Structures are given as C-alpha cells and as structure tokens.
Amino acid sequence: MLTHIHIWNFAIVDKLDIEFEPGLSVLTGETGAGKSILLDALGLALGDRADPLVIRHGAEKAEISVSFSTHDAPQAEQWLVDHQMNSAEECIIRRTISATGPSKSFINGIPSTIAQLRELGEMLVDLHGQHEHQSLLSRDIQRELLDNYAAHHTLVTQVSSAYQQWQALEREIDQLRSAGRDRDQRLDLLRHQVKELQALDVQAGEYAALEQDHKRLANANQLLHTVQQCLEALTENEQTAIEGMLAHCVSEIQSLAQLDTKLATTQELLNNALIALQEAGGELRRYADDLELDPARLTEVEQRLGDILQLARKHRVPPQELATVLPRLQTELDQLEHADFHLDSLLKQVIQAKQGYLDLAATLSQSRIKTAKQLTAKVTDSMQGLSLQGGKFSVNLETLNEEHYSLHGREQIEFLVSANPGQPLRPLSKIASGGELSRISLAIQVITAQAARIPTLIFDEVDVGIGGRVAELVGLQLRALGQHRQVVCVTHLPQVAALGHQHLQVSKHINKNTTVTKIQPLEKQQRVDEIARMLGGVQITEQTRSHAQEMIERAQV
C-alpha cells in the first residue's frame, strides 16, 4: 500500500509531502492546477524515463521519494528479500533527477537500476488511464487474473511442475538419440580418455600440493642458505647473536627492577621477547634439519606437473579441475554403453509424465472455461453501469497445438472487449480510447478485487465523458474497490469525489512571480467547500454547499 510521497523541486512543486490512507483517495482541483504532477512524479519513481526539464526552474535537481507498506504485497516483499533489499515490510523508493548528470535511484537506500524500479513498481502500483503502467494489457497478467479469481494457485503450480518434468525427460531422450548417431565413435573416444585419466589418477587438490612442493624443491638452496644466516644472527654467533645480547639486557633490567618497580613491565616484555626469539630459533633449526636437497624428487614433481598440464589442455580445463573430468566421462560412458536400456526406461517415463501433465492441464482448462463464463457475465454486466451500454466483455480461451503447450497450460488466454453496440470483440490492448479502457479496467478490477495481486490502483480521469447517475455509479464502484485495495483516483466529478475515504485537493499559487502547486488533505468543512466548487463553479451558494454536504453524508451510509 502506498503510504507517503515526498516531492522536491519537481515541475512547479517546490516541496510536497502527502500521507496516503487505505480505501479510496480522491484527488481534485481546478483545471490546470497540476493534478497530473502527482502521477508523473509517481511514474518517475517507478521507472519512467527521466527528463531534466521536469526539474523546477532555478533548481539543480529534483527528488521523488515514495514509501510503501508491503504487508499486502507478498510478491514485492519476496522480491525485496531475493534482492537483499528487505526492510521489515516497508519499501522506500527514491529517485533524483539532476540537471547536469544521470538520474539516480535507490530502493531501501540501496542503489538500483531503472529496470529494477519498473520490475518492483509493477508489483506495487497499477496505473489506469493513458499511462505506461497498464498491467491488464498483458496476456500474462490476464491469465494470472483469471487463475487468481478461480483460486487456481495449487493447480497452476502442479501443471507447471508436471510440464517441467515432462520436458526434462524429453530433452534427456533427445540427448541420448543424438549421441546414439555417433555412438560407436564416441564410445571409442570415451574409453580411451577414461583409460588415460585412470592411468594418471589425479586426485583432488593434488595439483596445488605439487606446485607447492615444486616451489620448495626448486628453491631449496636459497631457503637453506638464508635460514642458516638467520640462525647465525639470532642464536649461533657467540659474539654477535641477538639472543645473547637480549639475554644480557633481560638480566640487567631484572636487577634494576628490584630497585624501581616501574621497570617491571619492561622486564616482562623483554622476557617474552627472549622466549619468542628462542622458539623462533628452534623452529628455524628444525626446518633446516628437515629441508632436503633432492634433485630426483624435483625431477619427479616436474614430470608429474607436466603430465597433468598436458592432459588438462587436452580436456580444455584448468589443471586444478582435471580430477573432476574422470567422473563425468565415466557417467557418459556408462550411459552410452547402456543407452538402449536407458532409452527404453526414459520412453516409459516420458509417456507417464506427459499423461500426468495432460490430465492436470485438462482439469485446469475445464475450471478456466467455467470461470471465464462467470467473469465474462459479471464484467459485461458491470460495464453497462459505466456509460458503456451495449458493451461486451469476454475471456477468450484459445486451445493451442501440442508444440505450444507450456507450463501455464494448454490454452492462451486473452481479454476481449466491445465498447459499443455493433462493434466486434477485440483484444483489450487494442482499445483506442483511454477513457473507455480505464472504465473497462475498473469493471474488471472491481469484480476481481479480492483475487488481484497489486495492492494499489491509480485511476486517472476514469470519469471522462460521463456525468450524472453514471458518474455516481463509477464512484460507487471505486469506493467498493477501495474496500479490498487502496485506490487513488484523479477526478473532476463531484459525484466521484464525494465517495472518497480521503480527499486531496490540488491548488496552484503565484508568489513573487513564482508559480507553485500545493496538494493538501481536506478536513470536513474544506471538503464540503471543494465539492460545492465542483458542483457550482464560480458562484457557490448555500444551496450548493447544502447539496455538497448531502452528497458526502450519503456516501458514508
């Protein structure tokens, strides 16, 4: 649910903060006051293309910050978790547009791409009207809407899983048959490669260990010489060894510490240093004793490394990964040697898997057909009250050929509409009129409100071209939709505005030659005045105010 929007230096808005409530929020104002600014700003936050011209004159950048509660948007919440942007059922999208550089976007404080804004935005907000965010035009969304309306979640999941299992087996059969065409030649090659790898018998981690051995053996002379020099300097030269000098200092400081206890800490540090030096000398002595000058072993290691490198190049793998090649080739060899048995088994499995898919898909198809009839009748009936008399709605299910079966079932689903009597049914995406499309979408959304996946709906001028009783019916449908989802509606009709749970007014002000747009929530009396203005125009009488009061009170019943 949309909870808050902050707009700064955008178009003719200097600074704007709006808190949104559940239910139906209506947005009204004089023509030209800037009602579209809010939707434009929201569109930018959700990934619309940014243009520096939207920055308020005289400012260097514009910023839009939009907050959502995701407790009613499980898909969005999961998306945030998957992208490591989760923030306790809250989502804050922020976008800045600079006059001199590229725009920047953030999701819960994490830098994000425009593609991510769009992907997440489609799970949070559905904009209806002449705007980009029109999810109902997508056949995939239409299919999901029908399935959600029919509570098909479990069945759809089963169909998807059955299809994936069937296709995985088909791919395995294709691979076996493809391999079978060159089977004899491939068998000879595999047997030779397996025999060669078994003879070399490379172990996991062996190459790294050999490299370390080679480094030590190849530099044994230098290692031994340097270690002996260090031993001489540390412990073995009676006149200049560090150990002897340090031991003398320890003895001297120990005597002085008896005279002044402040030297006790220094005495302890020197003692520890002497002990550490003696231990280091012992370690170096043991290392020197164990270090071998072994040319024969060096030759053996070099030969082994060379053999591994040569075979790794042959199999086009890093030498560290050569040990993994043998098990893979052995598996392929086993499959080819027993290909006929595997193929017979797979053919039986694929028949069972296909039939399992067909049975589940048939059940899904039958339920979809039944639900499509119900949805067709209800939406068509709803359209009649939205100034679309004689209009028709239909859910078309086109059965596909087997090669086009998918994890979504055996049919393609598309919403068809005839907005006027005598016109043929056409795809919803082909409706030319934004006003007609908005009202048809409204009818669909009201019917499917409890099943839909997007928590916030925004309708821009869905009441274009209507008035009177039809306008009130549109308002009633929007208010009914607000019982299940959050609805924000830009309207110029008092009949719609009076039915809102929250009323926001857009106004334009001129201050010192600067034009500024303001949006404010209206209190009870302010709302009466605004509805009266929408009813009466310039001359507002007491009778107009009384009518406005009556409309608001009637909406609360």
Q: DSSP secondary structure string, 11-42?
A: TTEEEEEEE--SSEEEEEE-TTS-HHHHHHHH
Same domain? 101 vs 220: no
Same domain? 93 vs 218: no
Is 155 strand, coil or helix? helix
Q: What is the mean pLDDT of each run of 10 residues along the chain (557 residues)?
A: 93 88 91 78 89 87 94 89 85 92 91 93 78 69 90 94 96 78 80 93 92 89 90 83 90 90 92 93 89 86 92 93 92 80 87 96 97 94 84 94 94 92 87 72 76 80 70 84 88 90 88 80 92 82 89 82
The answer to the question of residue 91 being in a domain is yes
The residue range of the domain holding 483 is 2-156+357-521
42, 15, 48, 14: which is closest to 27 by C-alpha?
Answer: 42
Same domain? 99 vs 219: no
Quote the pLDDT of residue 435: 67
For residues 121 and 87, what is the distance between their CA atoms, to the nearest angstrom?
Answer: 16
Q: Are 179 and 346 in contact (CB under 8 A)?
A: no
Crossing angle (nearest 10°) for helices 153-181 and 339-384: 150
Quote the pLDDT of residue 553: 87
502, 528, 529, 505: which is closest to 517 by C-alpha?
Answer: 505
Same domain? 261 vs 385: no
Same domain? 35 vs 93: yes
The answer to the question of residue 345 being in a domain is no
Same domain? 506 vs 420: yes
The answer to the question of residue 173 being in a domain is no
For residues 395 and 378, what is the distance between their CA atoms, to the nearest angstrom?
Answer: 11
* pTM over cut 0.75: no
Same domain? 130 vs 8: yes
The answer to the question of residue 209 being in a domain is yes
Same domain? 408 vs 370: yes
Supply the DSSP symbol for 101. Answer: S
Which CATH number characterizes residue 131's domain? 3.40.50.300
Same domain? 388 vs 471: yes
Is 201 strand, coil or helix? coil
Q: How many structural domains compose the chain?
A: 2
Q: Which residues pair with 69 in a beta bridge?
A: 90
Same domain? 500 vs 365: yes
The answer to the question of residue 461 being in a domain is yes
Same domain? 487 vs 445: yes
